[in-house]
Chains A and B, each alone.
Chain A
Amino acid sequence: MRLSARSWVLIAALVLLAAVPPLAALLKEPFYLDLFRRVMIFAIAALSLNLIMGYGGMFSFGHAAYLGIGAYAVGVLTHHGIDNGWLQWGLAMGASALVAAAIGAISIRTSGIYFIMITLAFTQMLYYLGISIEEYGGDDGLRLAQRSQFSGLIDLADPVSFYYLVLAILVAFLVLGHRIVHSRFGMVIQAARSNDARTRAIGFSPYLYRLAAFVIAGAMCGLAGALLVNHTAFLSPEFMNWTRSGELMFMVILGGMATTAGPVLGAAAMLLLEDALSGWTQHWQIIFGPFLVLVVLFAKRGLAGLLPGGARER
């Protein structure tokens, strides 16, 4: 089976990720376990955004909303004494899907700059909603009393178990995403991005397909949100701050839009860079900002874009 350079890089990345816990234990640096688990969670979020943005051309500046919804689903249920992980994570995905359906139904009727502004506005609306509810921490946030419980199947308080669970979910979503993108459904989404007029002329009505993709992406990101709040053990409306949405977009672009490896590479590059820079100076954003500008101007194909892809990748 011939694999492209991109695929090899992705496989290598996944193997490296799998090796982190034993390596971290060897080096007695549990911090790396934390860091790379965070990378993987954001890779899942970026993956979901890549589906609609990279492949679908829907530049949603509001994707962090679903991180928030997923996190709040877990946080709110825990706060009220319901810590069943299945229920919480199910709600995280379900609520995200519902909100995505509502926001998408309105937003997808627009395109271009309107779409960007509208998705941004709706996310901000949810952010303000989150801040205004004092019972769940308001703008200070809320400590998670207990992580999601899975009736003895897995203990999320154990860092290594949790790490491998996240890795497993990442791999599962990578496979799922790949299948979706290359299925008939995925082809319509890509076609609608590539040439909207032609797509209508041959008989497709893109709206419902785009909406479906939007909902799927929202649900996936909702799960990432549930994972994130378990990771930080702290619920905060900052999860859905609009700057977080911007970060997600950059992860997708930096990694390489419309590639399978892109979200993983992008999340890793972005978070590792942030980590390195912030260790150096507390004002790292003054370097990071111009860096992002340069990425947009000169490196829009992203990291995966530098490598030759498979037969049917751009």
Chain B
Amino acid sequence: MILLIEQTLNGLQLGVMLFLMAAGLTLVFGIMNLVNLAHGAFYMVGAYLTTFFYQQTGSFALGVLLGLAGTLVVGIVVELVALRTLYERDHLDQVLATFGLILFFNELVAILWGRAAIYATMPPALAGHVELFANLRYPLYRLVIIGIGLAVALALWYVVVRTRLGMLIRAGASNRTMVAALGVNIRLLYTIVFGFGAALAGLAGLLSGPIYVVQPGMGELVLIQVFVVIVIGGIGSIRGALAGALIVGMVDTMGRAFLKPMLATVLSPSAADTAGPALASMLIYLLMAAVLAFRPEGLFPSRGS
């Protein structure tokens, strides 16, 4: 029982991080019709910059602030320099061009900090455990991640549904030309949205640093899971991103925790030993295939796409 609760919280934590990534990607796709394969690069940049600044200044808070700001700046620079030309192009061109960007960023990071994984220290203030109830001690840091993620989800909901900017975002998502015709500075809107998406990815990255590995290429591993999230949730919709992320987070975590012991009840221990992890790693993709079979548009597709 304790294990179940613990794994549920882990699943929630993974889900929340996937949501931060998926929200950025889906916003950019929904509003600018841009597929950015290099979205994972911002995740990586966020992790690296925060670790670097934390080490330099000794303050985690400062590290986070500078890391986020740095990622935002990198995002804006990328948008201005490399992506402007891609808005007019079809999705395939965008995928291929941003693929080139991934290689560039991974190598840049390797030049600056080396190819080996670097150690991102957990800030001491967040390193402890919280006693949730009798017998369940859960890492404080992970609870913080869940809290931040849900707060961001709430804030995003508020911005998108209740503010003028959000209205522009929703309008842009379903009718780009109309928004432009209304005289809104589309270029500025795009740059802001893109920077914001990059910052969200950077946030996910810096949060993940202390608990996952920080190395070149870390973004892409997450990114592909984010694709699964978006396919399941429906492209272009924040609601879909949240639903998809939580589902994927849960299924993946539960699968990894419980599939092997479950299989062990019907298979031999050695068979379960191999089949368990193998099947667990395939689980979210099988789920994606199932969703596609019945609802190819995803669970909550946005109407504009």
A touches B in complex, CB < 8 A: yes
Query: Which A residues are closer than 8 A to B by beta carbons?
Result: 59, 61, 106, 109-110, 112-114, 116-118, 120-122, 124-125, 128-129, 131-135, 242-243, 246, 249-250, 253, 283-286, 288-293, 295-297, 300
Quick one: given A120-B224, A289-B103, are A132 and B96 in contact (CB under 8 Å)?
no
Q: Please name the 4 residue pairs, one residue from A and one from B, whose CB atoms are nearest each other, closest first.
A: A289-B104, A289-B103, A292-B100, A125-B285
Alpha-carbon gap, A293 to B103, bound state (A): 10
**B48–chain A nearest beta-carbon distance, Å:** 15
Interface string of B211-240 (1 = CB under 8 A from A): 000000000100010011011000100000
- Does B102 count as interface, using CB distance less than 8 angstroms? yes
Report A285 CB to chain B, min CB distance, Å: 4
Task: Contact check, B278 vs A133: say whether CB atoms are below 8 A apart.
Answer: yes
CB atoms of A116 and B285 under 8 A apart: no
Contact (Cβ within 8 A) B95 A61: yes
Q: B73-116 interface mask toward A, CB cutoff 8 Å, 1 = contact, 0 = none?
A: 00000000010010000011101110111111111101100000
Inter-chain contact B107/A285, CB cutoff 8 Å: yes
C-alpha gap A114/B100 in the complex (Å): 20
* Chain A: CB-nearest residue to B286: A125
- Asked whether B224 lies within 8 Å of A124 as measured between CB atoms, the reply is yes
- CB of B92 within 8 A of CB of A289, answer no
Query: In the complex, A133→B228 CA distance in Å?
Result: 23
Considering only CB atoms, which chain A residue lies closest to B103 in the complex?
A: A289
Q: Identify which of A284, A288, A292 gathers the most chain B CB atoms within 10 Å of its CB.
A: A292
Once A106-B292, A110-B296, A293-B100 are accepted as A-B contacts, the answer to whether A134 and B107 lie under 8 Å apart by CB is no
Separation of A129 and B281 alpha carbons in the complex (Å): 7
Interchain CA distance A300-B82 in the complex, whole Å = 17
Residue of A with least CB distance to B93: A296
Besides A114-B296, A121-B228, A132-B274, 14 more A-B contacts (Cβ < 8 Å) are A106-B293, A110-B292, A113-B235, A116-B91, A117-B231, A120-B224, A128-B282, A243-B220, A246-B96, A253-B96, A283-B111, A285-B106, A291-B100, A293-B82
A117→B227 CA distance, assembly (Å): 6
CB of B70 within 8 Å of the partner chain: no
User: Contact at B278–A285, with CB atoms within 8 Å?
Assistant: no
Residues of chain B within 8 A (CB-CB) of A61 are 95
Expressed in whole angstroms, the Cα–Cα distance for A121 and B227 within the complex equals 7
**Residue on B with the closest CB to A123?**
B224
| Complexed CA–CA distance, A117 and B286 (Å) | 14
Partner of B104, one of A116, A286, A295: A286
Q: Which residues of B contact A129 (CB under 8 A)?
A: 278, 281-282
A-B contacts, 12 of them at CB < 8 A, read A113-B29, A113-B95, A117-B230, A120-B227, A121-B224, A121-B285, A121-B288, A131-B281, A250-B99, A290-B100, A292-B103, A293-B97
B152 at the interface (CB under 8 A from A): no
Bound Cα distance A293, B292 (Å): 31
Q: How far is the CA of A113 from the CA of B89 in the complex (A)?
A: 13
A253–B288 alpha-carbon span in the complex (Å): 29
> Which residue of A109, A125, A135 has the most chain B CB atoms within 10 A of its CB atom?
A125
Residues of B within 8 A of A293 (CB): 82, 97, 100-101, 104
Report if B171 contacts A (CB, 8 A).
Answer: no
User: In whole angstroms, what is the CA distance A106 to B296 when docked?
Assistant: 9
A106: B residues at CB distance < 8 A? 289, 292-293
Partner of A132 from B93, B102, B227, B281 at Cβ < 8 Å: B281
Contact B285 A289 (CB under 8 A): no
**Shortest CB–CB separation between residue B135 and chain A, in angstroms?**
32
B18 interfacial by beta-carbon distance below 8 Å? no
A295 CB to nearest B CB, Å: 8
Is the beta-carbon distance between A286 and B111 smaller than 8 angstroms?
yes
